Amino acid sequence: MQESAAFGPVFSVPQKTLKDLLGQVSFAMAVQDIRYYLNGILFVAEGKQLSLVATDGHRLAFASATLDVEVPKQEVILPRKTVIELQRLLSDAGGENQPHIEMQFANNQAKFTFGGMEFVTKLVEGKFPDYNRVIPRNHTNSVTLGR
């Protein structure tokens, strides 16, 4: 195993929240795209916001949740296999005593601590497309659809 990386600050969210976010964006991940940075999900932690973004070049999915603590801006791309494994391992139990997952990011690794285990993964290197240019900000119409 490699020497441990210099991880940034720890922050946490309920496991159900992260599992829901992953479920909302994972469908848009590319599968074996030559643009390797699309074969995963972009995690953006900034302030009190955690945002997840996925795209395959034709469709884009964005989901976000509020964090309990304020964190400095961090952007990492988690590989597709890591996303699938996290979805499988995370609990979807809700309620008042719902289990949390702690996250930490480094330059080339991400660490998730939950359920008595530590899950460390390498990150996808590369520059994720600027999703803010695709999502319109000044629109007058809004549509909300149920699943």
Cα–Cα distance for residue pair 75/42, rounded to 1 Å = 7
pLDDT in tens, 46-95: 999 999 999 988 899 999 999 888 888 999 999 999 999 999 999 877 76
DSSP state of 120: E
| Predicted TM-score (pTM) of this structure | 0.82
Cα–Cα distance for residue pair 130/117, rounded to 1 Å = 34
Secondary structure of residue 140 in the 3-state scheme = coil
Label each residue of 41-109 as H, E or C.
Answer: EEEEEEEEEEEEEEECCCCEEEEEEEEEEEEEEEEEEEEHHHHHHHHHHCCCCCCCCCCEEEEEECCCE
User: Residue 2: its pLDDT value, please?
Assistant: 55
- Of the spans 33-42, 70-79, 131-140, which averages the highest pLDDT? 70-79
Inter-residue contact 78 to 120 (CB < 8 Å): no
H/E element, 121: strand 117-122
- How many other C-beta atoms are found inside a 10 Å radius of the C-beta of residue 52? 21
Cα–Cα distance for residue pair 139/57, rounded to 1 Å = 23
Q: Domains of the chain by range and CATH?
A: 11-133 (3.10.150.10)
Q: Which residue, 74, 73, 93, 88, is CA-closest to 119? A: 88
Cα–Cα distance for residue pair 93/15, rounded to 1 Å = 8
